[in-house]
């Protein structure tokens, strides 16, 4: 199969060669073995027939221009394959370099998405024209998969845009640009209206520029903004790594660092040496574990979820038309906005019209902001707002095919609000609760149609947080689950599906992270070190800061309820070292969190001013510390071990749900690929993968408590040589 040619050659009467990327074995063109071979043959032929060639146009017969590297292959690259990976990168670049120095004008006619390797091919062309059609976009998103563009993407963007713009606009965030934006960012030169307009425009350019050269191959070329040795940049450059560290919060994110190093080093050498520098850094990343983790989560797990991998089969596609949102507080207001934005009519009900109106005001503000930022128009904004109807009257929910409840966290109240509306709404309406802690099966007892009842756990702020955790209660039907998944997609959220348990998956597991941090404070470790360890582990927020945001009283309330429920079931209740600290903070020191004026931190006018001095006095034991690595891993392992228990208890249905839910919902560090992948891809001192994880978990258990003891199911799984799935 890989023998087949993936690049068509058509020469017109003017001597212009149109190269059409068209892999006969795949729906998209990728940088596979067949491509490499075809490109090598094509480039060799161009060199040989150069005298009869007036110019070259590169385009594609697929919907996308070129899809880049094959991620399945990249997952398989081992440390031992470093040499091969390096040589592959060099070969890709050598081919493109020949094309760009052929002495003939080369144009990329971009007919669809050119991301990653696709844009890198286009960057080797002297001129880039893109058709402004659906799906057309360009960008180098490699960083989001823990990689760097290793096909010349770093070297060329830096030489084209300068170090600062290349890093900020293209390389470090992996932004994707629509055609017009791409032109403004300097990534393409021309935008045409249709795919049909591409070839004529490309041919016209070829004819007008017979001696085209890349800027960097022209005499007197200077890198825009200068090189690290030019005074302007030299003055700013030392701050770069520090800023990056701050942005990454010191976390284990090798890709941004490698990209920055490549960018800086590549400007100090000639183009060919620059490519070698880029290949070296690329090899380091592609043979490492972090890229594998991130590819697993952000590509394969997302694909599993987006393609309906967890959706019960055989149910028709569902679209919600009218939703009743009960409770117009912080969450209800946000839910109303995202539903209205997706075109769903919203009845926003609260106890007073003033509260309901206030809930709608939240959307007014978001709409204003979106218009200001140019992300929406007045017409769209007005239409969105017109879809939200504030009310106090249950009768207004007539015809709703969906109800989402977001009143106070109280079982009786939640039962009551459903009873008010269940006979008013459509007879098969989905009944969703946004509870963050109460068991769905208990809430479902308050409605007549328990099979239609489902947990719909949104995250705050609802408009920004991409995750929706759907919780199946004991009686939730598959039909309802399928509908809920469709609704999640309809409103632009990424759904994971879990089975009922106290705190479901996300709230429960994030609790173990916070408990571990608090326990360390109680052991006498300096709270500043604990915070630093959290950030360096890669969490987006420091743990004690997060506790202050949540308040200390909320986890305590949840703990007390959970304890009562567990004791009532006749099961043993195990005290965690964090509880005494939380109780002392609340009862002895009246430090309940930010909203009450102070918690682990002090606040002035709601702004954090520093750690509360009382912590040193009441908890910290001067000189007492533990290895920093242990601090970091206690947090990560606490969550990971509890995740295994979630699998054991049937709360989690797939590793994809665990990975995506933990990264998008509760800030589990992205470099790990999510909490299940953290175990599957663990790299430890005494071993890798689940076995290495188990060895380290046992060590932590011995030092810091039995809650780190790896569950038997994991030990058995590792012995079989298997992974969490």
Residues near ligand NAI (CB under 6 A) are 326-332, 349-351, 355, 406-409, 413, 417, 434-436, 457-460
- Contact (CB, 8 A) for 680 and 690: yes
Pairing of strands 16-21, 467-472: unpaired
Nearer to ligand NAI, 459 or 678 (CB): 459
CA dist., res. 193 & res. 111, Å (int) = 10
CA dist., res. 290 & res. 682, Å (int) = 10
Nearer to ligand NAI, 187 or 406 (CB): 406
CB of 367 to ligand NAI, least distance (A): 20
CB of 554 to ligand NAI, least distance (A): 9
* Backbone Cα Rg of the chain: 28
Nearest to 574 by CA among 657, 515, 490, 514: 515
Write the DSSP string, 540-583.
SS-HHHHHHHH-SHHHHHHHHHHHHHHHHTT------HHHHHHH
CB of 410 to ligand NAI, least distance (A): 8
CB of 231 to ligand NAI, least distance (A): 49
Nearer to ligand NAI, 453 or 708 (CB): 453
CB of 359 to ligand NAI, least distance (A): 7
CB of 257 to ligand NAI, least distance (A): 33
Residue nearest to ligand NAI (CB): 329
Burial class (CB in 10 A: 0-12, 13-18, 19+), 440: buried
Write the DSSP string, 93-156.
HHHHHHHHTSSS-EEEEE-S-EETHHHHHHHTSSEEEEE--TT--EE-GGGGGT---TTTHHHH
Nearer to ligand NAI, 417 or 425 (CB): 417
CB of 544 to ligand NAI, least distance (A): 18
CB of 440 to ligand NAI, least distance (A): 12
Which residues touch 132 (CB under 8 Å, ≥6 apart)? 178, 179, 180, 191, 192, 193
Which residues touch 719 (CB under 8 Å, ≥6 apart)? none
Nearer to ligand NAI, 434 or 654 (CB): 434
Nearer to ligand NAI, 244 or 413 (CB): 413
Nearer to ligand NAI, 271 or 328 (CB): 328
Tokens at 552, concatenated: 């200390």
**3-state SS, one letter per residue, for 247-270:** HCCCCCCHHHHHHHHHHHHHCCCC
Which residues touch 526 (CB under 8 Å, ≥6 apart)? 616, 620, 625
Q: List strands edge to edge, sheet with 388-391.
A: 388-391, 345-349, 322-326, 402-405, 430-433, 453-458, 467-472, 494-499
Could you give the angle at which helices 506-523 and 543-550 cross, rounded to 10 degrees? 120
CB of 445 to ligand NAI, least distance (A): 16
CB of 351 to ligand NAI, least distance (A): 5
- Contact (CB, 8 A) for 302 and 494: yes
Nearer to ligand NAI, 288 or 332 (CB): 332
In which element (H, E) is residue 513 found?
helix 506-523
- Quick one: CA torsion of 337, 338, 344, 347, rounded to 10 degrees? -40
**To which residue do tokens 């533990």 refer?**
626
CA dist., res. 63 & res. 280, Å (int) = 32
Nearer to ligand NAI, 328 or 714 (CB): 328
Nearer to ligand NAI, 303 or 416 (CB): 416
**To which residue do tokens 């959220």 refer?**
493
DSSP-derived 3-state class of residue 519:
helix
Nearer to ligand NAI, 66 or 459 (CB): 459
CB of 457 to ligand NAI, least distance (A): 6
CB of 5 to ligand NAI, least distance (A): 54
CA dist., res. 472 & res. 500, Å (int) = 6
Nearer to ligand NAI, 332 or 598 (CB): 332
């Amino acid at each position: 199969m890989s023998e087949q040619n993936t690049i068509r050659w058509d020469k017109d009467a003017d001597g212009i060669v149109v190269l059409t990327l068209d892999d006969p074995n795949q729906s998209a063109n990728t940088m596979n073995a067949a491509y490499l071979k075809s490109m090598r043959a094509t480039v060799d032929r161009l060199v040989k027939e150069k005298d009869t060639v007036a110019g070259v146009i590169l385009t594609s017969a697929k919907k996308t221009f070129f899809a880049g590297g094959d991620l399945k292959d990249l997952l398989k690259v081992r440390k031992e394959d470093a040499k091969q990976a390096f040589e592959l990168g060099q070969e890709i670049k050598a081919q493109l370099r020949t094309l760009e120095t052929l002495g003939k004008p080369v144009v990329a006619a971009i007919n669809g998405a050119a991301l990653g390797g696709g844009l890198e091919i286009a960057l080797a062309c002297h001129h880039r024209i893109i058709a402004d059609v659906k799906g057309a976009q360009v960008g180098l998103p490699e960083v989001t998969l823990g990689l760097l563009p290793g096909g010349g993407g770093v070297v060329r963007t830096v030489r084209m845009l300068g170090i600062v713009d290349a890093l900020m606009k293209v390389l470090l965030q992996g932004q994707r640009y629509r055609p017009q934006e791409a032109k403004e960012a300097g990534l393409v030169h021309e935008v045409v209206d249709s795919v049909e307009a591409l070839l004529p425009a490309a041919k016209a350019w070829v004819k007008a520029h017979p001696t085209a050269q890349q800027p960097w191959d022209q005499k007197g070329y200077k890198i825009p903004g200068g090189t690290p040795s030019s005074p302007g940049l030299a003055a700013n450059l030392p701050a770069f790594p520090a800023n990056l560290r701050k942005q990454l919060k010191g976390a284990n994110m090798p890709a941004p660092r490698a990209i920055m190093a490549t960018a800086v080093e590549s400007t100090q050498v000639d183009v060919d040496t620059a490519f070698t520098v880029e290949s070296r850094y690329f090899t380091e990343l592609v043979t490492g574990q972090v890229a594998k983790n991130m590819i697993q989560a952000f590509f394969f797990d997302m694909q599993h979820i987006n393609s309906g991998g967890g959706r019960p089969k055989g149910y028709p596609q569902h679209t919600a038309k009218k939703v009743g949102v009960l409770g117009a507080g912080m969450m209800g207001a946000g839910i109303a906005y995202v539903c209205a934005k997706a075109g769903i009519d919203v009845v926003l009900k609260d106890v007073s019209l003033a509260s309901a109106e206030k809930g709608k005001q939240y959307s007014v503000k978001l709409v204003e902001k979106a218009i200001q930022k140019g992300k929406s128009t007045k017409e769209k904004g007005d239409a969105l707002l017109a879809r939200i109807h504030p009310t106090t009257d249950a009768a207004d929910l007539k015809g709703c095919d969906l109800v989402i409840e977001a009143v106070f966290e109280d079982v009786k109240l939640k039962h009551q609000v459903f009873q008010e509306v269940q006979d008013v709404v459509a007879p098969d309406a989905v009944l969703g609760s946004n509870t963050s802690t109460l068991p769905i099966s208990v809430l479902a007892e308050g409605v007549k149609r328990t099979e239609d009842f489902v947990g719909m756990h949104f995250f705050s702020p609802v408009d920004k947080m991409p995750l929706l955790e759907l919780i199946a209660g004991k009686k939730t039907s598959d039909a309802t689950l399928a509908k809920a998944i469709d609704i999640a997609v309809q409103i632009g959220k990424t759904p994971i599906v879990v089975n009922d348990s106290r705190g479901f998956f996300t709230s429960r597991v994030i609790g173990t992270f916070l408990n571990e941090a608090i326990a360390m404070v109680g052991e006498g470790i300096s709270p500043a070190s604990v915070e630093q360890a959290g950030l360096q582990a890669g969490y987006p927020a420091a743990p004690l800061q997060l506790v202050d945001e949540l308040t200390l009283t909320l986890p305590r309330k949840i703990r007390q309820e959970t304890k009562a429920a567990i004791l009532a079931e006749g099961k043993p209740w195990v005290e965690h070292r964090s509880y005494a600290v939380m109780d002392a903070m609340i009862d002895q020191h009246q430090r309940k969190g930010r909203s009450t004026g102070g918690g682990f931190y002090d606040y002035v006018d709601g702004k954090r001013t520093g750690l509360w001095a009382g912590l040193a006095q009441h908890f910290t034991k001067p000189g007492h510390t533990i290895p920093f690595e242990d601090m970091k891993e206690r947090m990560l392992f606490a969550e990971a071990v509890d995740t295994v228990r979630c699998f054991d208890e049937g709360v989690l249905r797939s590793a994809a749900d665990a990975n995506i839910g933990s990264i998008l919902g509760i800030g589990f560090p992205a470099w790990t690929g999510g909490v299940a992948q953290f175990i599957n891809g663990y790299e430890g001192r005494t071993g890798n993968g689940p076995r290495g994880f188990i060895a380290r978990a046992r060590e932590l258990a011995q030092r810091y408590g039995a809650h780190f003891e790896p569950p038997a199911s994991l030990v058995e799984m590792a012995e079989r040589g298997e992974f969490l799935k």
